[in-house]
Structure 1
Amino acid sequence: MPVKNFDSDAQSCVHAKHERRKDARPGELLAAALELFVEKGFAATRVEEVAKLAGVSKGTLFIYFASKEELFKAVVRENISGRFEEWNAEFENFQGSSADMLRYCLTAWWEHIGSTKASGITKLMMSEARNFPELATFYEHEVIQPGHALIGRVLQRGVDRGEFRAIDMKYGVYIVLAPMLFLAMWKHSLGACCDAGAQLVPEDYIALQAETILNGLSIRQTPPPLSQKNTAS
């Protein structure tokens, strides 16, 4: 009867556990970095703190990310810009009206980005962009440009289908972005400090903003002049 090599099995288990831990490290580092960047800002966050929060050494962090700037870029890609492919695919496959699509965009943004720590990246960039122009340029290319393009596609879909009136798309995009930016700023600033009575219900706020925007975009039947109404009666 063969003798089972328990020492060999134990070593295999330890090795497998080590490999699983090694594979998880980039994700753990990104999660720790996101938390600290949002809490403290980019300038005030030190890589030693990120490594400590992730449970690894500073040297281990630099195995995966060459600098704090590269770590920040990876955080943005992991939480925001890496999702544009998925969001554009949703646009292509959406079956409802353009009004429904716009409502979905706003509510889905809140569920997947706005209500999470990732929305703090927006506040961080708005407050620190001038001090870190390279990161500002990166954010412009990775987040702002594709974000504007996607919102523009939603609005243009409505115009092309005769559901929305024609508008200046450059500024139309900002009309849609405005409530999203406000919520992101609110969540990570005054919203964290206000009394309960002054707090917003994000879902209600987004619903009202969506209907307000759609009220301005939607094409309506032009009512007949008053003289025609009197003649008809």
Structure 2
Amino acid sequence: MPPLVTAAPRQRRKDARPQELLDAALALFVEKGFAATRSEEVAARAGVAKGTLYRYYPSKDELFKAMVRENLSVHIAESAALAAQHEGPIAGLMRQMMQAWWAKVGHGKAGGVCKIMMIEARNFPELAAFYIDEVIEPSQRLIGGLIERGMRSGEFRAVPIEATVHLLIAPMLHMLLQEHSFGDQGLCHRTMSAEELLDAQMSLLLHGLLA
């Protein structure tokens, strides 16, 4: 048999650099905010030269956009694919998606990106517009589409879709802000888990939706 060809350690490190840079950017943006984070800090955290960072991401804005796609957009796309394949009642799917979003995004560092945008969007209108196009509008279309499907099937009663989407998302954002503000400082002393709170939220809202 011919010998197996494996990548040299240097090549493997080169291939891993974009992910290392995105991981470093996520950590620093969440720790310090977008405005206070300098590109050279991201490069140093990833263990590379500043020039190497710019080779992959020409500006801090482009780095931030890539980090959002890696940590938020991908999960929205996964949820949309799951929804497209789903057959049967919508209520259970919505509950599953909300819990999965919290486990993958809200509870981890990626949830801090949502907090950053709420705080700093006014000072960075181009990034705010990107975030709306990449995260907010796809999320709202996804949830609104599920509500509309439930209404068409007769599972849900007729409700104003846009307003109902906001009612579903708002408690999640509140939990996220609490987690990434007070929780980071050890000041948040909940007697129940976020998963239990989500379950209570979904039970209340879904019973209000059900026909």
TM-score range, shorter chain: over 0.9
Q: How does 1:20-59 map to 2 (within 5 A)?
A: 20-59=12-51
Residue 120 (1) aligns with residue 119 (2) = no
Residue 163 (1) aligns with residue 155 (2) = yes
* CA spacing shift, 1:131–1:197, aligned 2, 3 Å: closer
TM-score, normalisation: structure 2: 0.93
Q: CA deviation at 1:191?
A: 2.3
Q: Is the 8 A contact 1:88 1:150 kept in 2?
A: yes
* CA spacing shift, 1:17–1:67, aligned 2, 3 Å: same
| Separation in 1, partners of 2:104, 2:137 | 19
* CA spacing shift, 1:60–1:197, aligned 2, 3 Å: closer
Q: Is the 8 A contact 2:115 2:180 kept in 1?
A: yes
Q: 1:148 aligns with which of 131, 140, 143?
A: 140
Amino acid at match of 1:36: L
Q: Is the 8 A contact 1:29 1:54 kept in 2?
A: yes
Q: Is the 8 A contact 2:182 2:188 kept in 1?
A: no
Tell me the residue number matched to 2:52: 60
Amino acid at match of 1:37: F
Q: Is the 8 A contact 1:34 1:118 kept in 2?
A: yes
Q: How does 1:60-79 map to 2 (within 5 A)?
A: 60-79=52-71
Q: Which has the larger radius of gyration?
A: 1
Amino acid at match of 1:137: A
Residue 213 (1) aligns with residue 205 (2) = yes
Q: Percent identity?
A: 49
SS at match of 2:183: helix
| Separation in 1, partners of 2:189, 2:58 | 46
SS at match of 1:189: coil
| Separation in 2, partners of 1:69, 1:54 | 17
Q: CA deviation at 1:112?
A: 1.2
Structure 1: gaps of 5 or more residues: 1-11, 220-233
Q: CA deviation at 1:196?
A: 6.4
Q: CA deviation at 1:89?
A: 1.3
TM-score, normalisation: structure 1: 0.84
Q: Is the 8 A contact 2:26 2:109 kept in 1?
A: yes
* CA spacing shift, 1:106–1:132, aligned 2, 3 Å: same
Residue 137 (1) aligns with residue 132 (2) = no
Q: Is the 8 A contact 1:159 1:166 kept in 2?
A: yes
Q: Is the 8 A contact 2:179 2:188 kept in 1?
A: no
Root-mean-square deviation (CA, aligned residues, Å) is 1.6
Structure 2: gaps of 5 or more residues: none
Residue 177 (1) aligns with residue 146 (2) = no
SS at match of 2:8: helix
Q: CA deviation at 1:53?
A: 0.7
Tell me the residue number matched to 1:222: none
How many residue pairs match? The answer is 207
Amino acid at match of 1:32: A
SS at match of 2:110: helix
* CA spacing shift, 1:78–1:31, aligned 2, 3 Å: same
